[in-house]
Structure 1
Amino acid sequence: MNKKTLLIAAAALAAVGSAHAQDLEGFEVSGNVAFTSDYRFRGVSLSADEFAIQGGFDAAHESGFYVGTWASSIDEFAGSETELDFYAGYGFEAGGLAFDVGAISYFYPGSDDTEYYEVYGSVSGTVGVAELTGGLAYAPDQDNLGDDNVYVYADAGFPLGESPFSLGLHVGLEDGAFGDEKIDYAVSLDTSYAGLDLSAAWVDTDAEDYLGEIAEGGVVFTIGKSM
Protein backbone atom coordinates (compact mmCIF):
# COMPACT_ATOMS: atom_id res chain seq x y z
CA MET A 1 0.00 0.00 0.00
CA ASN A 2 1.40 3.44 -0.83
CA LYS A 3 1.89 6.00 1.93
CA LYS A 4 -0.96 8.23 0.76
CA THR A 5 -3.47 5.39 0.94
CA LEU A 6 -2.24 4.52 4.42
CA LEU A 7 -2.79 8.08 5.63
CA ILE A 8 -6.30 8.28 4.19
CA ALA A 9 -7.16 4.93 5.76
CA ALA A 10 -5.76 6.12 9.09
CA ALA A 11 -7.98 9.19 8.96
CA ALA A 12 -11.03 7.07 8.26
CA LEU A 13 -10.25 4.66 11.10
CA ALA A 14 -9.67 7.57 13.47
CA ALA A 15 -13.10 8.90 12.54
CA VAL A 16 -14.75 5.54 13.19
CA GLY A 17 -13.09 4.82 16.52
CA SER A 18 -12.40 8.30 17.78
CA ALA A 19 -12.01 7.62 21.48
CA HIS A 20 -9.99 10.81 21.95
CA ALA A 21 -12.13 13.04 19.72
CA GLN A 22 -12.80 15.69 22.35
CA ASP A 23 -10.20 18.30 21.42
CA LEU A 24 -12.41 20.44 19.16
CA GLU A 25 -16.01 19.49 19.92
CA GLY A 26 -15.86 15.97 18.56
CA PHE A 27 -12.78 16.38 16.35
CA GLU A 28 -9.47 14.60 16.69
CA VAL A 29 -6.58 16.39 14.98
CA SER A 30 -3.42 14.49 14.11
CA GLY A 31 -0.26 14.99 12.10
CA ASN A 32 2.37 12.82 10.46
CA VAL A 33 5.81 13.11 8.92
CA ALA A 34 7.89 10.59 6.98
CA PHE A 35 11.21 10.23 5.22
CA THR A 36 11.38 7.71 2.40
CA SER A 37 14.17 6.55 0.12
CA ASP A 38 11.80 6.72 -2.88
CA TYR A 39 8.27 8.12 -3.20
CA ARG A 40 6.32 5.40 -4.99
CA PHE A 41 2.74 6.06 -6.08
CA ARG A 42 1.00 2.99 -7.40
CA GLY A 43 4.37 1.40 -7.99
CA VAL A 44 5.85 4.30 -9.97
CA SER A 45 8.63 6.50 -8.58
CA LEU A 46 7.56 10.14 -8.43
CA SER A 47 10.86 11.17 -6.87
CA ALA A 48 13.06 9.59 -9.59
CA ASP A 49 14.38 6.96 -7.16
CA GLU A 50 15.54 9.71 -4.81
CA PHE A 51 14.85 10.54 -1.17
CA ALA A 52 11.56 12.32 -0.38
CA ILE A 53 10.14 14.05 2.68
CA GLN A 54 6.40 13.79 3.31
CA GLY A 55 3.83 14.90 5.86
CA GLY A 56 0.27 15.87 6.52
CA PHE A 57 -2.53 16.75 8.90
CA ASP A 58 -5.94 15.16 9.47
CA ALA A 59 -9.07 16.23 11.33
CA ALA A 60 -11.50 13.38 12.02
CA HIS A 61 -14.95 13.90 13.55
CA GLU A 62 -16.58 11.32 15.80
CA SER A 63 -19.50 11.15 13.32
CA GLY A 64 -17.16 9.54 10.76
CA PHE A 65 -16.38 12.55 8.56
CA TYR A 66 -12.77 13.59 8.07
CA VAL A 67 -10.65 16.05 6.09
CA GLY A 68 -6.93 16.12 5.53
CA THR A 69 -3.98 17.36 3.57
CA TRP A 70 -0.73 15.66 2.62
CA ALA A 71 2.39 16.73 0.74
CA SER A 72 5.54 15.16 -0.65
CA SER A 73 8.65 16.33 -2.43
CA ILE A 74 8.79 14.96 -5.99
CA ASP A 75 11.04 14.98 -9.01
CA GLU A 76 10.52 18.14 -11.11
CA PHE A 77 7.14 17.98 -12.86
CA ALA A 78 5.91 20.83 -15.08
CA GLY A 79 7.89 23.28 -12.97
CA SER A 80 6.80 21.87 -9.61
CA GLU A 81 8.82 19.89 -7.07
CA THR A 82 5.94 19.34 -4.64
CA GLU A 83 2.75 17.29 -4.64
CA LEU A 84 0.02 18.73 -2.42
CA ASP A 85 -3.18 16.75 -1.79
CA PHE A 86 -6.46 17.64 -0.12
CA TYR A 87 -9.04 15.00 0.73
CA ALA A 88 -12.33 14.57 2.54
CA GLY A 89 -14.40 11.50 3.25
CA TYR A 90 -16.58 9.47 5.52
CA GLY A 91 -15.71 6.28 7.40
CA PHE A 92 -18.22 3.95 9.00
CA GLU A 93 -18.63 0.38 10.21
CA ALA A 94 -21.32 -2.13 9.23
CA GLY A 95 -21.54 -5.89 9.49
CA GLY A 96 -18.12 -6.16 11.07
CA LEU A 97 -16.48 -4.30 8.16
CA ALA A 98 -15.01 -0.80 7.92
CA PHE A 99 -16.03 1.31 4.92
CA ASP A 100 -14.45 4.49 3.61
CA VAL A 101 -15.62 6.78 0.79
CA GLY A 102 -14.30 10.18 -0.24
CA ALA A 103 -12.61 12.40 -2.80
CA ILE A 104 -9.04 13.64 -3.21
CA SER A 105 -7.53 16.47 -5.25
CA TYR A 106 -3.91 16.49 -6.41
CA PHE A 107 -2.07 19.81 -6.85
CA TYR A 108 1.46 20.63 -8.02
CA PRO A 109 2.34 24.16 -6.82
CA GLY A 110 4.33 26.12 -9.37
CA SER A 111 2.85 24.31 -12.37
CA ASP A 112 -0.11 25.15 -14.57
CA ASP A 113 -3.04 22.95 -15.62
CA THR A 114 -1.85 19.83 -13.78
CA GLU A 115 -4.34 19.45 -10.92
CA TYR A 116 -6.93 16.69 -11.01
CA TYR A 117 -9.24 14.81 -8.64
CA GLU A 118 -10.40 11.29 -7.86
CA VAL A 119 -13.19 9.69 -5.89
CA TYR A 120 -12.38 6.60 -3.86
CA GLY A 121 -13.89 3.86 -1.75
CA SER A 122 -12.60 0.91 0.25
CA VAL A 123 -13.75 -1.84 2.57
CA SER A 124 -11.61 -3.46 5.29
CA GLY A 125 -12.05 -6.46 7.55
CA THR A 126 -10.27 -9.15 9.53
CA VAL A 127 -10.01 -12.80 8.57
CA GLY A 128 -8.18 -14.75 11.26
CA VAL A 129 -5.05 -12.75 11.98
CA ALA A 130 -5.05 -11.05 8.58
CA GLU A 131 -6.20 -7.48 8.00
CA LEU A 132 -7.65 -7.25 4.48
CA THR A 133 -8.57 -4.19 2.40
CA GLY A 134 -9.97 -3.82 -1.09
CA GLY A 135 -10.47 -0.48 -2.77
CA LEU A 136 -11.07 1.54 -5.92
CA ALA A 137 -10.12 5.05 -7.04
CA TYR A 138 -11.71 6.66 -10.08
CA ALA A 139 -10.66 9.87 -11.83
CA PRO A 140 -13.35 11.03 -14.28
CA ASP A 141 -12.32 12.44 -17.64
CA GLN A 142 -11.23 16.04 -16.95
CA ASP A 143 -9.29 18.79 -18.69
CA ASN A 144 -5.89 17.97 -17.22
CA LEU A 145 -6.13 14.21 -17.78
CA GLY A 146 -7.56 13.80 -21.27
CA ASP A 147 -9.10 10.46 -20.26
CA ASP A 148 -10.58 8.82 -17.21
CA ASN A 149 -8.55 6.54 -14.94
CA VAL A 150 -9.45 3.63 -12.68
CA TYR A 151 -7.31 1.96 -10.04
CA VAL A 152 -8.34 -1.13 -8.07
CA TYR A 153 -6.22 -2.66 -5.34
CA ALA A 154 -6.06 -5.25 -2.58
CA ASP A 155 -3.93 -5.15 0.58
CA ALA A 156 -3.25 -7.69 3.29
CA GLY A 157 -1.35 -7.43 6.56
CA PHE A 158 -0.21 -10.32 8.75
CA PRO A 159 1.54 -10.30 12.14
CA LEU A 160 4.66 -12.48 12.14
CA GLY A 161 4.08 -14.65 15.19
CA GLU A 162 5.04 -13.06 18.48
CA SER A 163 7.62 -10.81 16.84
CA PRO A 164 7.19 -7.00 16.56
CA PHE A 165 7.10 -7.32 12.76
CA SER A 166 4.25 -7.62 10.29
CA LEU A 167 4.14 -8.60 6.64
CA GLY A 168 2.29 -6.42 4.15
CA LEU A 169 1.15 -7.47 0.67
CA HIS A 170 -0.26 -5.21 -2.03
CA VAL A 171 -1.40 -5.58 -5.63
CA GLY A 172 -3.05 -2.97 -7.84
CA LEU A 173 -4.36 -2.65 -11.38
CA GLU A 174 -4.55 0.72 -13.16
CA ASP A 175 -6.08 1.53 -16.52
CA GLY A 176 -6.73 4.83 -18.26
CA ALA A 177 -4.85 8.12 -18.22
CA PHE A 178 -2.00 6.80 -16.02
CA GLY A 179 -1.73 3.19 -17.08
CA ASP A 180 -2.52 0.65 -19.75
CA GLU A 181 -3.72 -2.25 -17.59
CA LYS A 182 -0.66 -1.55 -15.44
CA ILE A 183 -0.06 -3.89 -12.51
CA ASP A 184 1.89 -2.83 -9.42
CA TYR A 185 2.70 -4.89 -6.37
CA ALA A 186 4.62 -4.60 -3.12
CA VAL A 187 5.82 -6.78 -0.26
CA SER A 188 6.78 -5.01 2.96
CA LEU A 189 8.15 -5.74 6.40
CA ASP A 190 6.83 -3.26 8.98
CA THR A 191 7.47 -2.55 12.63
CA SER A 192 7.46 0.22 15.23
CA TYR A 193 10.33 1.23 17.47
CA ALA A 194 10.77 4.15 19.89
CA GLY A 195 7.59 5.77 18.62
CA LEU A 196 8.64 5.50 14.97
CA ASP A 197 7.04 3.49 12.18
CA LEU A 198 9.64 1.63 10.12
CA SER A 199 9.13 -0.12 6.79
CA ALA A 200 11.23 -1.89 4.17
CA ALA A 201 9.40 -2.82 0.97
CA TRP A 202 10.02 -4.26 -2.47
CA VAL A 203 7.90 -2.30 -4.97
CA ASP A 204 7.54 -3.17 -8.65
CA THR A 205 5.33 -2.80 -11.73
CA ASP A 206 4.95 -4.42 -15.15
CA ALA A 207 5.14 -1.03 -16.90
CA GLU A 208 8.89 -0.64 -17.34
CA ASP A 209 8.58 -1.06 -21.13
CA TYR A 210 6.62 2.15 -21.59
CA LEU A 211 7.31 4.13 -18.39
CA GLY A 212 11.03 3.45 -18.19
CA GLU A 213 13.21 3.46 -15.08
CA ILE A 214 10.59 5.05 -12.81
CA ALA A 215 8.56 1.84 -13.12
CA GLU A 216 11.43 -0.53 -12.32
CA GLY A 217 11.37 -2.58 -9.15
CA GLY A 218 13.31 -1.46 -6.10
CA VAL A 219 13.63 -1.53 -2.34
CA VAL A 220 12.02 1.38 -0.48
CA PHE A 221 12.85 2.27 3.12
CA THR A 222 10.54 4.55 5.09
CA ILE A 223 10.65 5.99 8.60
CA GLY A 224 7.66 7.92 9.88
CA LYS A 225 6.01 9.29 12.98
CA SER A 226 2.40 10.13 13.79
CA MET A 227 1.56 12.93 16.23
Structure 2
Amino acid sequence: MKRILFTLPLGFFLHTAHATESTTETVSPFSANLTVASQYVSRGFQQTWGKPALQGGLDYAHPNGLFVGTWASTVSDHFIRDASVEWDVYTGYSRSFGDLSLGVTVAYYFYPGAETTAEAGHTSFDYGEIIPEIAYGPVTVKYAVTYTQDYFGNNSKTLGVGNDQHSRGSGYLDVNWHQPLGQGWSADAHYGNQRIKNFSAASFQDASFSVNKELPYDLAASLMYSKAWDKEDYYKEYSNGNPNARVSDPIDSTVTFSLTKSF
Protein backbone atom coordinates (compact mmCIF):
# COMPACT_ATOMS: atom_id res chain seq x y z
CA MET A 1 0.00 0.00 0.00
CA LYS A 2 2.74 2.30 -0.83
CA ARG A 3 1.92 5.96 -1.27
CA ILE A 4 2.17 6.86 -4.97
CA LEU A 5 3.39 10.40 -5.51
CA PHE A 6 1.98 12.86 -8.04
CA THR A 7 2.74 13.72 -10.86
CA LEU A 8 4.74 10.65 -11.78
CA PRO A 9 4.81 7.47 -9.68
CA LEU A 10 7.32 7.05 -6.84
CA GLY A 11 8.63 10.56 -7.24
CA PHE A 12 9.87 9.61 -10.75
CA PHE A 13 13.46 10.80 -10.86
CA LEU A 14 14.46 11.95 -14.35
CA HIS A 15 18.05 11.92 -15.49
CA THR A 16 19.83 13.19 -18.61
CA ALA A 17 22.20 11.46 -21.03
CA HIS A 18 24.35 12.85 -23.83
CA ALA A 19 22.94 11.64 -27.15
CA THR A 20 25.91 12.86 -29.18
CA GLU A 21 29.22 14.57 -28.59
CA SER A 22 27.41 17.91 -28.81
CA THR A 23 25.74 19.63 -25.88
CA THR A 24 22.33 18.19 -26.82
CA GLU A 25 20.81 16.29 -23.90
CA THR A 26 18.05 13.69 -24.04
CA VAL A 27 15.71 12.98 -21.14
CA SER A 28 15.36 9.25 -20.58
CA PRO A 29 11.80 7.91 -20.15
CA PHE A 30 13.15 5.32 -17.70
CA SER A 31 14.05 5.82 -14.06
CA ALA A 32 14.82 3.63 -11.07
CA ASN A 33 15.21 4.08 -7.34
CA LEU A 34 16.69 2.11 -4.45
CA THR A 35 15.96 2.94 -0.80
CA VAL A 36 17.32 1.78 2.53
CA ALA A 37 15.02 2.80 5.40
CA SER A 38 14.97 2.30 9.15
CA GLN A 39 11.46 0.85 8.67
CA TYR A 40 8.59 0.76 6.16
CA VAL A 41 5.59 2.89 7.12
CA SER A 42 2.56 3.13 4.83
CA ARG A 43 -0.67 4.94 5.70
CA GLY A 44 0.67 5.16 9.25
CA PHE A 45 1.21 1.39 9.63
CA GLN A 46 4.66 0.06 10.55
CA GLN A 47 4.78 -2.80 8.06
CA THR A 48 8.27 -4.05 8.97
CA TRP A 49 7.39 -4.22 12.69
CA GLY A 50 9.96 -1.49 13.40
CA LYS A 51 12.78 -3.25 11.53
CA PRO A 52 14.82 -1.90 8.55
CA ALA A 53 13.41 -2.10 5.02
CA LEU A 54 14.94 -2.45 1.57
CA GLN A 55 12.89 -0.93 -1.27
CA GLY A 56 13.22 -0.35 -4.98
CA GLY A 57 11.28 0.68 -8.07
CA LEU A 58 11.46 0.94 -11.84
CA ASP A 59 9.39 3.40 -13.91
CA TYR A 60 8.69 4.36 -17.50
CA ALA A 61 7.01 7.65 -18.46
CA HIS A 62 6.01 8.60 -22.00
CA PRO A 63 6.09 12.31 -22.94
CA ASN A 64 2.33 12.18 -23.62
CA GLY A 65 1.66 11.58 -19.90
CA LEU A 66 1.23 7.81 -19.81
CA PHE A 67 3.32 5.95 -17.24
CA VAL A 68 3.85 2.42 -15.92
CA GLY A 69 5.96 1.14 -13.09
CA THR A 70 6.65 -1.33 -10.33
CA TRP A 71 7.91 -1.02 -6.77
CA ALA A 72 8.69 -3.48 -3.97
CA SER A 73 9.55 -3.42 -0.28
CA THR A 74 10.39 -5.91 2.40
CA VAL A 75 7.66 -6.38 5.04
CA SER A 76 7.43 -8.34 8.29
CA ASP A 77 5.49 -11.57 8.75
CA HIS A 78 4.60 -10.26 12.22
CA PHE A 79 2.48 -7.63 10.46
CA ILE A 80 1.26 -9.69 7.47
CA ARG A 81 1.01 -13.44 8.01
CA ASP A 82 3.53 -15.41 5.87
CA ALA A 83 4.60 -12.25 4.01
CA SER A 84 8.14 -11.08 3.32
CA VAL A 85 7.59 -8.74 0.34
CA GLU A 86 5.06 -6.19 -0.89
CA TRP A 87 5.11 -5.86 -4.69
CA ASP A 88 3.19 -3.05 -6.41
CA VAL A 89 2.43 -2.59 -10.11
CA TYR A 90 0.70 0.47 -11.53
CA THR A 91 -0.09 2.43 -14.65
CA GLY A 92 -1.78 5.72 -15.30
CA TYR A 93 -1.92 9.07 -17.02
CA SER A 94 -1.12 12.61 -15.88
CA ARG A 95 -1.25 16.02 -17.52
CA SER A 96 -0.33 19.53 -16.42
CA PHE A 97 -2.11 22.82 -17.17
CA GLY A 98 0.20 25.45 -15.75
CA ASP A 99 0.15 25.10 -11.97
CA LEU A 100 -2.74 22.61 -12.18
CA SER A 101 -2.10 18.89 -12.70
CA LEU A 102 -4.63 16.08 -13.16
CA GLY A 103 -4.06 12.36 -13.24
CA VAL A 104 -5.30 8.87 -12.51
CA THR A 105 -3.43 5.73 -11.44
CA VAL A 106 -4.57 2.10 -11.44
CA ALA A 107 -2.55 0.11 -8.90
CA TYR A 108 -2.43 -3.48 -7.65
CA TYR A 109 -0.61 -4.57 -4.50
CA PHE A 110 0.71 -8.14 -4.18
CA TYR A 111 1.82 -9.90 -0.98
CA PRO A 112 3.24 -13.17 -2.37
CA GLY A 113 2.51 -16.22 -0.19
CA ALA A 114 0.56 -14.22 2.40
CA GLU A 115 -2.95 -15.13 3.49
CA THR A 116 -5.08 -15.18 6.62
CA THR A 117 -5.55 -18.24 8.83
CA ALA A 118 -7.72 -21.23 7.90
CA GLU A 119 -10.33 -20.04 10.40
CA ALA A 120 -10.55 -16.79 8.42
CA GLY A 121 -10.92 -18.61 5.11
CA HIS A 122 -7.35 -18.29 3.75
CA THR A 123 -8.12 -14.78 2.46
CA SER A 124 -5.43 -13.07 0.37
CA PHE A 125 -4.11 -9.64 1.34
CA ASP A 126 -3.72 -8.64 -2.35
CA TYR A 127 -5.91 -5.75 -3.50
CA GLY A 128 -6.22 -3.03 -6.13
CA GLU A 129 -7.12 0.66 -6.22
CA ILE A 130 -8.09 3.34 -8.74
CA ILE A 131 -6.56 6.66 -7.70
CA PRO A 132 -7.73 9.95 -9.27
CA GLU A 133 -5.63 12.92 -8.22
CA ILE A 134 -5.38 16.68 -8.57
CA ALA A 135 -2.48 18.97 -7.73
CA TYR A 136 -2.24 22.74 -7.56
CA GLY A 137 0.94 24.43 -6.46
CA PRO A 138 2.32 22.67 -3.37
CA VAL A 139 -0.87 20.69 -2.60
CA THR A 140 -1.89 17.30 -4.01
CA VAL A 141 -5.19 15.56 -3.23
CA LYS A 142 -5.88 11.92 -4.14
CA TYR A 143 -8.69 9.49 -3.41
CA ALA A 144 -7.93 5.78 -3.74
CA VAL A 145 -10.96 3.53 -4.31
CA THR A 146 -10.70 -0.25 -3.83
CA TYR A 147 -11.92 -2.03 -6.97
CA THR A 148 -11.13 -5.59 -5.82
CA GLN A 149 -13.47 -7.66 -3.64
CA ASP A 150 -11.57 -6.76 -0.46
CA TYR A 151 -9.28 -4.00 0.78
CA PHE A 152 -6.18 -5.62 2.31
CA GLY A 153 -8.11 -8.81 3.14
CA ASN A 154 -10.85 -7.09 5.15
CA ASN A 155 -14.10 -9.09 5.07
CA SER A 156 -16.59 -10.75 7.42
CA LYS A 157 -14.47 -13.89 7.84
CA THR A 158 -11.22 -12.10 8.63
CA LEU A 159 -12.76 -9.47 10.91
CA GLY A 160 -15.49 -11.65 12.47
CA VAL A 161 -18.17 -9.05 11.76
CA GLY A 162 -21.29 -9.27 9.59
CA ASN A 163 -22.44 -12.01 7.26
CA ASP A 164 -20.43 -12.60 4.07
CA GLN A 165 -19.63 -8.91 3.64
CA HIS A 166 -16.63 -7.56 1.73
CA SER A 167 -14.85 -4.21 1.54
CA ARG A 168 -14.96 -3.36 -2.17
CA GLY A 169 -15.51 0.40 -2.50
CA SER A 170 -13.32 1.34 0.47
CA GLY A 171 -11.68 4.74 0.03
CA TYR A 172 -8.51 6.51 1.12
CA LEU A 173 -8.34 10.31 1.11
CA ASP A 174 -4.69 11.35 0.69
CA VAL A 175 -3.76 15.04 1.10
CA ASN A 176 -0.12 16.07 0.65
CA TRP A 177 1.81 19.34 0.86
CA HIS A 178 5.35 19.75 -0.52
CA GLN A 179 7.45 22.86 0.01
CA PRO A 180 10.98 23.43 -1.33
CA LEU A 181 13.11 25.27 1.24
CA GLY A 182 16.17 26.06 -0.85
CA GLN A 183 19.67 24.58 -1.12
CA GLY A 184 18.26 21.09 -1.70
CA TRP A 185 16.05 21.08 1.39
CA SER A 186 12.28 20.47 1.33
CA ALA A 187 9.43 19.67 3.71
CA ASP A 188 6.38 17.44 3.28
CA ALA A 189 3.16 17.14 5.28
CA HIS A 190 0.50 14.45 4.82
CA TYR A 191 -2.99 13.63 6.09
CA GLY A 192 -4.85 10.44 5.23
CA ASN A 193 -8.30 9.04 6.03
CA GLN A 194 -9.00 5.37 5.28
CA ARG A 195 -12.67 4.40 5.20
CA ILE A 196 -13.15 0.61 5.14
CA LYS A 197 -16.56 -0.11 3.66
CA ASN A 198 -18.91 -2.21 5.85
CA PHE A 199 -16.34 -2.26 8.68
CA SER A 200 -16.22 1.24 10.14
CA ALA A 201 -14.50 0.10 13.35
CA ALA A 202 -11.42 -0.80 11.29
CA SER A 203 -11.27 2.62 9.59
CA PHE A 204 -8.41 4.91 10.56
CA GLN A 205 -6.64 8.22 9.93
CA ASP A 206 -2.95 9.03 9.66
CA ALA A 207 -0.60 11.99 9.41
CA SER A 208 3.09 12.56 8.82
CA PHE A 209 5.68 15.30 8.46
CA SER A 210 9.10 14.93 6.87
CA VAL A 211 12.21 16.97 6.15
CA ASN A 212 14.21 15.99 3.06
CA LYS A 213 17.65 16.82 1.69
CA GLU A 214 19.07 16.27 -1.79
CA LEU A 215 22.63 14.96 -1.66
CA PRO A 216 25.43 14.45 -4.21
CA TYR A 217 25.47 11.38 -6.47
CA ASP A 218 21.67 11.42 -6.94
CA LEU A 219 21.09 10.58 -3.28
CA ALA A 220 18.28 11.94 -1.10
CA ALA A 221 17.79 11.64 2.66
CA SER A 222 14.50 11.94 4.55
CA LEU A 223 13.49 12.05 8.22
CA MET A 224 9.77 11.46 8.82
CA TYR A 225 7.51 11.52 11.86
CA SER A 226 4.23 9.61 11.41
CA LYS A 227 1.23 8.44 13.40
CA ALA A 228 -2.15 6.84 12.74
CA TRP A 229 -5.22 6.61 14.95
CA ASP A 230 -8.73 5.16 15.08
CA LYS A 231 -11.84 5.76 17.16
CA GLU A 232 -11.98 2.49 19.11
CA ASP A 233 -8.30 1.48 19.62
CA TYR A 234 -8.99 -1.22 17.04
CA TYR A 235 -5.28 -1.74 16.29
CA LYS A 236 -4.00 -1.27 19.86
CA GLU A 237 -3.11 -4.97 20.28
CA TYR A 238 -2.64 -6.05 16.69
CA SER A 239 -1.29 -9.48 15.68
CA ASN A 240 -1.07 -11.42 12.40
CA GLY A 241 -3.64 -13.99 13.59
CA ASN A 242 -1.26 -16.87 14.30
CA PRO A 243 -1.60 -18.62 17.69
CA ASN A 244 0.74 -16.99 20.25
CA ALA A 245 1.68 -14.32 17.69
CA ARG A 246 3.52 -11.22 18.85
CA VAL A 247 1.24 -8.27 19.66
CA SER A 248 2.04 -4.63 18.95
CA ASP A 249 0.49 -1.27 18.11
CA PRO A 250 1.54 -0.75 14.47
CA ILE A 251 -0.06 2.70 14.22
CA ASP A 252 1.73 4.28 17.16
CA SER A 253 3.84 7.39 16.54
CA THR A 254 7.25 6.65 15.05
CA VAL A 255 10.23 8.22 13.30
CA THR A 256 11.69 6.86 10.05
CA PHE A 257 14.97 7.68 8.34
CA SER A 258 15.53 6.76 4.69
CA LEU A 259 18.26 7.15 2.09
CA THR A 260 17.32 6.89 -1.61
CA LYS A 261 19.51 6.52 -4.68
CA SER A 262 17.91 7.48 -8.00
CA PHE A 263 19.07 6.30 -11.41
How would you bin the TM-score normalised by the shorter chain? 0.7 to 0.9
Task: Tell me how far 1:80 sits from its aligned partner.
Answer: 1.9
Q: In the alignment, what sits opposite 2:144? A: 137
TM-score normalised according to structure 2 size: 0.73
Gaps spanning 5+ residues in structure 1: where?
none
TM-score normalised according to structure 1 size: 0.84
CA change 1:59–1:163 in 2 (3 A) is closer
Gaps spanning 5+ residues in structure 2: where?
20-26, 116-123, 155-165, 237-248
Paired residue type of 1:33: L
Which of 142, 152, 158 in structure 1 is aligned with 2:179?
A: 158
Task: Tell me how far 1:141 sits from its aligned partner.
Answer: 5.4
Task: Tell me how far 1:164 sits from its aligned partner.
Answer: 3.2
Q: In the alignment, what sits opposite 2:36? A: 35
Secondary structure of 1:72's aligned partner:
strand
Deviations 1:179-227 (A, max 9, x none): 7441100011111111211100110011392213100001110110111
| In 2: Cα distance, 1:136 partner to 1:18 partner | 29
Q: In the alignment, what sits opposite 1:203? A: 226
Does residue 89 of the first structure (1) align with residue 125 of the second (2)? no
Task: Tell me how far 1:19 sits from its aligned partner.
Answer: 8.7
Q: In the alignment, what sits opposite 2:8? A: 10
Q: In the alignment, what sits opposite 1:50? A: 51
CA change 1:186–1:198 in 2 (3 A) is same
Count the aligned residue pairs: 215
Does residue 217 of the first structure (1) align with residue 249 of the second (2)? no
Task: Tell me how far 1:106 sits from its aligned partner.
Answer: 0.7
Task: Tell me how far 1:3 sits from its aligned partner.
Answer: 5.9
Conserved 8 A contact 1:38-1:50: yes
Deviations 1:36-66 (A, max 9, x none): 1111110111111111000010111111111
Which of 171, 186, 190 in structure 1 is aligned with 2:212?
A: 190
Q: In the alignment, what sits opposite 1:120? A: 131
| In 1: Cα distance, 2:16 partner to 2:183 partner | 27
| In 2: Cα distance, 1:197 partner to 1:3 partner | 18
Paired residue type of 1:183: Q
Q: In the alignment, what sits opposite 1:103? A: 106
Conserved 8 A contact 2:55-2:74: yes
Conserved 8 A contact 1:11-1:60: no
- Bigger helix share: 1
Does residue 174 of the first structure (1) align with residue 194 of the second (2)? yes
Q: Which moved more, 1:186-195 or 1:162-171?
A: 162-171
| In 2: Cα distance, 1:211 partner to 1:14 partner | 33
Conserved 8 A contact 1:140-1:147: no
Secondary structure of 2:29's aligned partner:
strand
Deviations 1:66-110 (A, max 9, x none): 111100000112322000111010011236311120210011112
Percent identity (aligned): 27
Secondary structure of 1:211's aligned partner:
coil
Paired residue type of 1:116: Y
